[in-house]
Amino acid sequence: MRINIGNRLWLKKVVSGMWYDTKSSHLLNTWRRQCFWLVTAQRRKGSAGSRWQEEKSEDGVKWKQLEHKGPYFAPLYEPLPDEVHFYYDGKAMKLSLATEEIATFYGKMLDHEYTTKEVFQNNFFNDWRKEMTVEEKKIIKHLNKCDFTEIHKYFVDKNEARKALPKEEKQKLKEEAERLQEAFGYCILDGHREKIGNFKTEPPGLFRGRGDHPKMGMLKKRIMPEDVIINCSRDSKIPEPPPGHKWKEVRFDNTVTWLASWTENIQNSIKYIMLNPSSKLKLALRAGNEKEEGETADTVGCCSLRVEHIQLHRELDGQEHIVEFDFLGKDSIRYYNKVPVEKPVFKNLQLFMENKDPGDELFDRLTTSTLNKHLQDLMDGLTAKVFRTYNASITLQEQLKVLTNAEDNVAAKILSYNRANRAVAILCNHQRATPKTFEKSMQNLQTKIDAKKEQLAVAKQELKRAKADAKVRKSVKSKSNVDKKKKLLAKLEEQLMRLCTQATDKEENKQVALGTSKLNYLDPRISIAWCKKFGVPVEKIYNKTQREKFAWAIDMADEEFEF
């Protein structure tokens, strides 16, 4: 029982990053129900095109009719022109088609960091050799004797050429892409035309695992119709496989939403063709499922944390009971944070670490399913993921309340909004690499600010002179001149202020990715209510795509909306 209590206490603080008390539990519950209703209502509205209705979900049935054209297959390999050579040990060598194709995958990536990694090189070379002819295999024995530079140059040039194309040609290519989108990019779902998210099969290439991935560089094979399972409705027009080919299978499963699927050869997982994620509502540590050792990069979530990932400090920087986290999370992004916890939580963590090695699991009796089960006991439908979302939204609302100043101008209010958004992104650990052009664009901005300051100084001088002039002459003309200069000065001050705000925003945003939380975690009604309340145009917060996605919220949220 002690373990149970221990985990429960730990849950309170560590899983959620916030306190889970009766009050927030009630809020959370209300919010979930509301969201569920909204989402289902929105789906209905979208698909039935009529009024909102109550959801009457028959268990598991996702559609009655589904018709589509099947996936669009990646274009076949085009052999290299004769003048582009591959060299082995300094000698030009003509490769068989299949071998050449794989060589181009590597050649294209030559200026990418991946190709400097030993694991990548070894995996690539192993897989490449498997596809070689017997003769090629006899000759090509070492990657370091392979020279791909001509191949690399060929693709770089080709890219440049495409960019430099005259605009009529570019227009043609664009129209071609649109035709493709028209032909393959839509399906009919229960009588309505819906956009497909990804209608193309993934092209062959070299696997780009993230972080320290043991399989990076392995050959991702070409997907053939024979690999693809089609899912559609029985009475629909069944998609035609490309001439001379057959589907692996055609099935009529209306309990799932995918249109086509295939098994990918690197991890043996299933890939899907699915609908475009339309209006859906999409909490601070991830649950952390178990992963297969050696098959993927070594990353963890909260249930799979190991003793080596935390450090306990009875006292640190004047605070008591500090837990220091340091581990690699999703996409191998580092999570580093020092969190003060309640004494019982601290005590339990100490207990969990006793007699364990650094590589042992911290919570050895906890798995994601027991964790979620526990959460479900607390509240119907609650999972770690839901908590992540809730936490993000409530933080945004709180931060907006704290940071916004009603007397500020619009630029300052937007800065406040971005700061609130940033607080959420930091909470969810949405990091990004500092953009390559960051320093430069910061400098540009600073130059602009300096220039503006100069203008301002000049304008001040002129105003002074105009005032002096008006005092002497007292003419109508000189008076209006003073007004003019005053206006100019005010305008310049406003511009300067806006630039400075922008610079602050940019600096603070250096390593934080805002997009993910904005699009996937935050209840849009909070943002929209904020816009309405403080007179900020919605376009300043959401771009075109985002406004489309959140159209329902824009419609309904008023300034009084409380999350």
CA-to-CA dists, residue 80 to 102, 128, 154, 526, angstroms: 12, 17, 9, 55
Residue 323 DSSP label: E
Whichever of 96 and 443 has its CB closer to DNA, that residue is 443
Contacts for 357 with CB less than 8 Å, ≥ 6 apart: 307
Q: Token pair 């390559």 is at which residue?
A: 436
User: Which ranges of 71-166 would DSSP assign to H, the alpha helix?
Assistant: 97-108, 118-131, 134-139, 149-163
In the range 339-358, which residues lie near DNA by CB under 7 A?
none
40 binds DNA (CB under 7 A): no
Residue 441: strand, helix, or coil: helix
Nearest Cα to 499, choosing from 444, 422, 421, 440?
444
Whichever of 12 and 486 has its CB closer to DNA, that residue is 12
Using the rule CB under 7 A, give the single segment among 346-354, 458-466, 484-492, 543-551 that binds DNA.
Answer: 543-551
Whichever of 378 and 468 has its CB closer to DNA, that residue is 378
155 binds DNA (CB under 7 A): no
How far is residue 186's CA from residue 277's CA, in Å, rounded to a whole number? 13
540 binds DNA (CB under 7 A): no
* Side chain identity at residue 241, one-letter code: P
Size of the site for DNA (CB under 7 A): 76
Nearest Cα to 205, choosing from 145, 123, 262, 272?
123
Using the rule CB under 7 A, give the single segment among 424-432, 479-487, 524-532, 551-559 that binds DNA.
Answer: 424-432
How far is residue 201's CA from residue 230's CA, in Å, rounded to a whole number? 13
Q: Token pair 């009603």 is at which residue?
A: 406
117 binds DNA (CB under 7 A): no
Q: Would residue 521 show up in a list of annotated catalytic residues for this protein?
A: yes
**CA angle (512 as vertex; 509, 518 as ends), nearest 5:** 100
Which H or E element spans position 205? strand 205-206
Contacts for 257 with CB less than 8 Å, ≥ 6 apart: 62, 63, 274, 275
Q: Provide, rounded to whole angstroms, the least separation between the CB of residue 276 and DNA.
A: 8
433 binds DNA (CB under 7 A): yes
Of the candidate residues 12, 45, 137, 208, the single one contacting DNA (CB under 7 A): 208
544 binds DNA (CB under 7 A): yes
331 binds DNA (CB under 7 A): yes
Give me the sign of the Cα torsion angle 105, 107, 108, 113: positive
Of the candidate residues 27, 333, 403, 426, the single one contacting DNA (CB under 7 A): 333
78 binds DNA (CB under 7 A): no
How far is residue 205's CA from residue 200's CA, in Å, rounded to a whole number? 15
248 binds DNA (CB under 7 A): no
Using the rule CB under 7 A, give the single segment among 19-27, 137-145, 380-388, 404-412 that binds DNA.
Answer: 380-388
Whichever of 47 and 257 has its CB closer to DNA, that residue is 257
Using the rule CB under 7 A, give the single segment among 147-155, 196-204, 234-242, 394-402 that binds DNA.
Answer: 196-204
Residue 535 DSSP label: T
Pairing of strands 229-231, 249-251: parallel
In the range 508-527, which residues lie near DNA by CB under 7 A?
513, 515-517, 520-521
Of the candidate residues 36, 64, 543, 551, the single one contacting DNA (CB under 7 A): 543
329 binds DNA (CB under 7 A): yes
* Side chain identity at residue 365, one-letter code: R
200 binds DNA (CB under 7 A): yes
Whichever of 5 and 270 has its CB closer to DNA, that residue is 270
In the range 434-453, which residues lie near DNA by CB under 7 A?
435, 437, 440-441, 444-445
How far is residue 94's CA from residue 82's CA, in Å, rounded to a whole number? 9
Please identify which of the residues 114, 186, 390, 521 carries the catalytic annotation. Answer: 521
280 binds DNA (CB under 7 A): yes
CA atoms within 13 A on the CB side of 176: 6
Which H or E element spans position 452? helix 438-473
Q: Provide, rounded to whole angstroms, the least separation between the CB of residue 91 and DNA.
A: 30
Of the candidate residues 6, 205, 217, 225, the single one contacting DNA (CB under 7 A): 205
How far is residue 561's CA from residue 563's CA, in Å, rounded to a whole number? 7
* Side chain identity at residue 84, one-letter code: V
Of the candidate residues 428, 459, 466, 492, the single one contacting DNA (CB under 7 A): 428
Q: Token pair 């019982």 is at which residue?
A: 344
Residue 406 DSSP label: T
In the range 297-316, which residues lie near DNA by CB under 7 A?
297, 299, 301
Structure tokens at 216: 């990076």
211 binds DNA (CB under 7 A): yes
213 binds DNA (CB under 7 A): yes
In the range 56-75, which residues lie near DNA by CB under 7 A?
60, 62
Of the candidate residues 202, 227, 408, 493, the single one contacting DNA (CB under 7 A): 202
112 binds DNA (CB under 7 A): yes
Of the candidate residues 172, 385, 471, 491, the single one contacting DNA (CB under 7 A): 385
In the range 159-188, which residues lie near DNA by CB under 7 A?
174, 177
87 binds DNA (CB under 7 A): no
7 binds DNA (CB under 7 A): no
Whichever of 259 and 470 has its CB closer to DNA, that residue is 259
Residue 11 DSSP label: I
How far is residue 364's CA from residue 307's CA, in Å, rounded to a whole number? 10
47 binds DNA (CB under 7 A): no
374 binds DNA (CB under 7 A): no
Give the residue numbers marked as catalytic: 521
